[in-house]
């Protein structure tokens, strides 16, 4: 039992979100939207993700297959859905908010090796399920009123069975009125018959019920509204009240989803299932409606290029893309993102094509593939006054390019990619600073930085001390710092001890900024990150000064 500061007790409630029929239906966005709605009702909300894959965490997974690795303040390498959670509920989550089958089994096996089970036979039930429930309980121990738990995968997947069994048991453990089950399914439209079909939803709910869980709410994903008659049919066949069948239609923007789901009554039904009086928790939608209004109040178009390794899988840069859009909302612009594969620069993607953009982001990544294309792109942006933001590897690329073409260090490179460079301007962190418990030589999580007074970055942040999240092994080699600063690339932010360079910038350029951090993880739809806002402001000026700025109407007509 938890207590608030005023001495009143906190009886934590739990909402479990499962999915059926198909992956990528939007469980994460549905869960995030519900979290935002409950938070707007004055409740303290936290969220977590249970993933059925065997990897211990996403840190070693290929972004081109799995999407981005989202990093928490405390250094967790987590699933990208945690990014949705943070952006919607505007709360910083912990590494314990992401649990995988791999981490569960790793912990259970470690306990068995230590003898914690006193020689008993270790089995899925109760040992694996108990471990899963313990991870859920940890979230409740943080003092939230409501914990929303998303179960990855779909009902029927063989990997998901222990998680479904665990959340089935959880209602018995926590009490009936302290648990709500929300199930997300697909209601497809078949054009030949002109009908929406409920059979996939029926089968999905039947599968869930066969595992012992009766959903309290069914959220139906579709490309057009679910009629009242169809809701009644699903209600009858799936044994839920008709008002607990929620129509979740494709939305113009992901930020419309909370309002849409509220209008369908999702938060009201969930409160009722959790035994909470809606009248005691009135909702204030006004702040979020302002976000939605800002999203739809854009009046012109800007073109921003993302030049990276994994652009064939846009989810690999999900937080980067969202941070760009947030900054677009702030300047009143709809952002068209051009996904440009670094390996194709400059052989297939020319300098003229890059110069036609209003701004560019070179994001993070690991490995040598595409590096020379990124270096070429940085050179094009520097020489043609194109606004550029370099993130992590992107900043390192800016440093390498400047060393080669301005400082005439012709074979300048990173020791990540070669050991023979005469000018290792980017070097392994352990060569520059003592590393203690950072995942080998990885610098993970939130690290502070001191910004130079009067620098571009300190002006953007409005502060001289900031904290950003990191995920990297290599750093700017500080022994070359005097040459860079003398030639015009200013090291404008460093670690508090002055040994690690965190930010670089070119004061004489419209916007040429690099950061060793990943600022995209802290951007919010109603609070654009300063570095992305600076990029979009510079891009906006470039577009208007060049006469390229199109109104939204002109842009639509040009594509018609």
* Residues with catalytic roles: 392, 518, 520
The three-state DSSP-derived secondary structure of 3-29 is: ECCCCCEECCEEEEEEECCCCCCCHHH
Which 3 state secondary structure label does DSSP give 270?
A: helix
297: CB partners within 8 A, 6+ apart: 332
Can you tell me the distance from the alpha carbon of 308 to that of 312, in angstroms, rounded to the nearest whole number?
Answer: 9
Q: Is the preceding peptide bond at 41 cis, omega within 30 degrees of 0? A: no
Rounded CA-CA distance 216/49 in Å is: 20
Q: Are 231 and 242 in contact (CB under 8 A)?
A: yes
∠ CA 29-31-35, nearest 5°, is 110
Contact 475, 432 (CB under 8 A): yes
Bridge partners (DSSP) listed for residue 76 = none
Ramachandran region, residue 367 (left: φ > 0; alpha: ψ -120 to 50; beta: rest): left
| Tokens 């303040």 -> residue | 73
CA–CA separation, 270 and 207 (whole Å): 22
């Amino acid at each position: 039992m938890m207590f608030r500061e005023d001495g009143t007790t906190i009886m934590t409630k739990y909402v479990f979100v499962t999915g059926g029929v198909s992956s990528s239906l939007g469980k994460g966005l549905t869960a995030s939207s519900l979290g935002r709605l409950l938070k707007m009702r004055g409740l303290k909300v936290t969220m977590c993700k249970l993933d059925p894959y065997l990897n211990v965490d996403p840190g070693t997974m290929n972004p081109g297959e799995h999407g981005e690795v989202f990093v928490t303040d405390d250094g967790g390498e987590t699933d990208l859905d945690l990014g949705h959670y943070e952006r919607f509920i505007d709360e910083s989550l912990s590494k314990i908010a992401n649990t995988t089958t791999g981490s569960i089994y790793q912990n259970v096996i470690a306990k068995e090796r230590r003898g914690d089970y006193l020689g008993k036979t270790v089995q899925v039930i109760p040992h694996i399920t108990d471990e899963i429930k313990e991870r859920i309980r940890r979230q409740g121990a943080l003092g939230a009123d409501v914990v929303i738990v998303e179960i990855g995968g779909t009902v029927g997947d063989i990997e998901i069975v222990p998680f479904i069994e665990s959340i089935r048991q959880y209602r018995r453990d926590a009490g009936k009125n302290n648990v709500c089950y929300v199930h997300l399914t697909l209601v497809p439209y078949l054009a030949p018959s002109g009908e929406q079909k409920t059979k996939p939803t029926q089968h999905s709910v039947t599968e869930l019920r066969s595992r012992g869980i009766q959903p309290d709410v069914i959220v139906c994903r579709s490309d057009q509204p679910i009629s009242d008659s169809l809701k009644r049919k699903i209600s009858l066949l799936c044994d839920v009240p008709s008002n607990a069948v929620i129509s979740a239609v494709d939305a113009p923007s992901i930020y419309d989803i909370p309002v849409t789901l509220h209008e369908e009554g999702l938060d009201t039904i969930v409160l009722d299932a959790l035994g909470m009086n809606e009248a005691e928790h009135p909702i204030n939608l006004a702040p979020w409606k302002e976000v939605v209004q800002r999203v739809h109040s854009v009046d012109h178009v800007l073109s921003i290029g993302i030049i990276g390794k994994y652009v064939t899988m846009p989810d690999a840069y999900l937080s980067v893309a969202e941070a760009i859009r947030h900054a677009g909302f702030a300047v009143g612009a709809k952002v068209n993102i051009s996904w440009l594969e670094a390996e194709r620069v400059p052989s297939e993607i020319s300098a003229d094509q890059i110069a036609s953009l209003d701004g560019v982001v070179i994001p993070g990544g690991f490995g040598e593939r595409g590096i020379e294309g990124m270096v070429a792109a940085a050179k094009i942006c520097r020489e043609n006054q194109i606004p550029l933001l370099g993130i992590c590897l992107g900043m390192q690329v800016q440093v390498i390019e400047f060393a080669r073409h301005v400082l005439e260090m012709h074979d300048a490179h990173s020791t990540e990619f070669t050991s023979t460079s005469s000018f290792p301007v980017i070097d392994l962190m352990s060569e520059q600073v003592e590393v203690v418990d950072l995942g080998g030589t990885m610098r993970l999580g939130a690290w502070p930085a001191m910004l130079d007074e009067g620098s571009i970055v300190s002006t953007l942040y409005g502060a001289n001390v900031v904290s950003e999240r990191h995920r990297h092994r290599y750093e700017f080699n500080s022994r070359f710092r005097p040459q860079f600063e003398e030639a015009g690339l200013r090291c404008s932010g460093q670690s508090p001890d002055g040994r690690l360079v965190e930010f670089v910038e070119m004061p004489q350029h419209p916007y040429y900024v690099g950061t060793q951090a990943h600022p995209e993880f802290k951007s919010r739809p109603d609070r654009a990150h300063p570095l992305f806002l600076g990029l979009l402001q510079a891009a906006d000026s470039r577009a208007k000064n060049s006469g390229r700025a199109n109104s939204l109407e002109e842009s639509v007509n040009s594509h018609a």
